[in-house]
Amino acid sequence: MTEQSDQTTDQATAPNKPGNIWAELGPTLIFVVVYNVLLRFPEGDGLFTKDTALYWATGALIVMTLGVIIQKLVRGERIPPFLILSSVLIGTFGTIGIVLQSKTFLFIKPTIINLLFAGVIFGGLAVGRNIWKMFFESAFQLPDFAWRTLAIRWGLYFVAMAIWNLVLWQFFSEGTWANWRLGNVGLGFVFALANVPYTLKHMIDADKTEPQA
């Protein structure tokens, strides 16, 4: 197997690497833990109560997400543009929800973020710019038609997740919504892995000018 082939396999299986898994799962896991710990506190108007569980969990999520980026900077690792964008959105909308003390805003936040992602992807395609390719072309060498297909798939995925968040918010309890964030991470990894075969099929080798058939 050539060096390029080894690199291709390594890139395609990147979602399985412990570091990448922690970057996605770690902050969400802390969110769930903090939320459930605060639920054990009594109700009331104090700083640490059952009613403030969602705000503390969101704050922990923001801090942990920032911590992931700082850790990568300290280690001299490249920070993926998509991680930067998602972190900015999580930090911005999460902070707004905490400052406004609005659980409704926190509930709808994932829908807003997912629709923003979808809008950026489909808006880019509409004007001839593949944002998905711009984010990940440093990791994968693919023909334009494959990049377009992946962009459309992920755009639809973000739309579906936006709708799914509304369903959870409207028809399930706050606890179910909060704890299901781990389920959303699982769905994201499954969807990413489901696209690996397509990515590998159309990966362009260093010694070839055309993608694999």
pLDDT for res 20: 57
Asked whether the beta carbons of 91 and 81 are under 8 A apart, the reply is: no
pLDDT band, residue 7 (cuts 50/70/90): very low
pLDDT tens readout for residues 87-139: 898 899 999 999 999 999 999 999 999 999 999 999 999 999 999 998 888 77
Buried b / exposed e across 173-198, counting CB within 10 Å, b at 16+? ebeebbebbeebbeeebeebeebbee
Tokens of 138: 């440093």
- Length of the chain, in residues: 213
55 by Cβ neighbours in 10 Å (0-12 / 13-18 / 19+) ranks as: buried
Range scoring the smallest mean pLDDT among 39-43, 52-56, 195-199: 39-43
pTM of the model: 0.81
pLDDT for res 48: 87
Decide if pLDDT at 16 tops 50: no
Alpha-carbon separation of residue 91 from 26, 48, 87, 133, 176 (angstroms): 16, 21, 6, 25, 22
Q: Bigger pLDDT: 79 or 67? A: 67
Distance separating alpha carbons of residues 179 and 74, to the nearest angstrom: 31
Q: At what angle do helices 53-74 and 81-100 cross, to 10 degrees?
A: 150
pLDDT band, residue 86 (cuts 50/70/90): confident
pLDDT tens readout for residues 138-194: 778 899 999 999 999 999 999 999 999 999 999 999 999 999 999 999 999 999 999
pLDDT for res 21: 62
Decide if pLDDT at 10 tops 80: no
* Amino acid symbol at 2: T
pLDDT band, residue 211 (cuts 50/70/90): very low
Buried b / exposed e across 84-118, counting CB within 10 Å, b at 16+? ebbbebbeebbeebbeeeeeebbbbbbbebbbbbb
36-44, Cβ contacts within 8 angstroms, sequence gap of 24 or more: 36/179, 39/175
Decide if pLDDT at 83 tops 60: yes
The angle formed by the CA atoms of residues 26, 60 and 105, to the nearest 5 degrees, is 110
Cβ count near 125 (within 10 Å): 17
pLDDT band, residue 26 (cuts 50/70/90): confident
List of E strands, 107-191: none
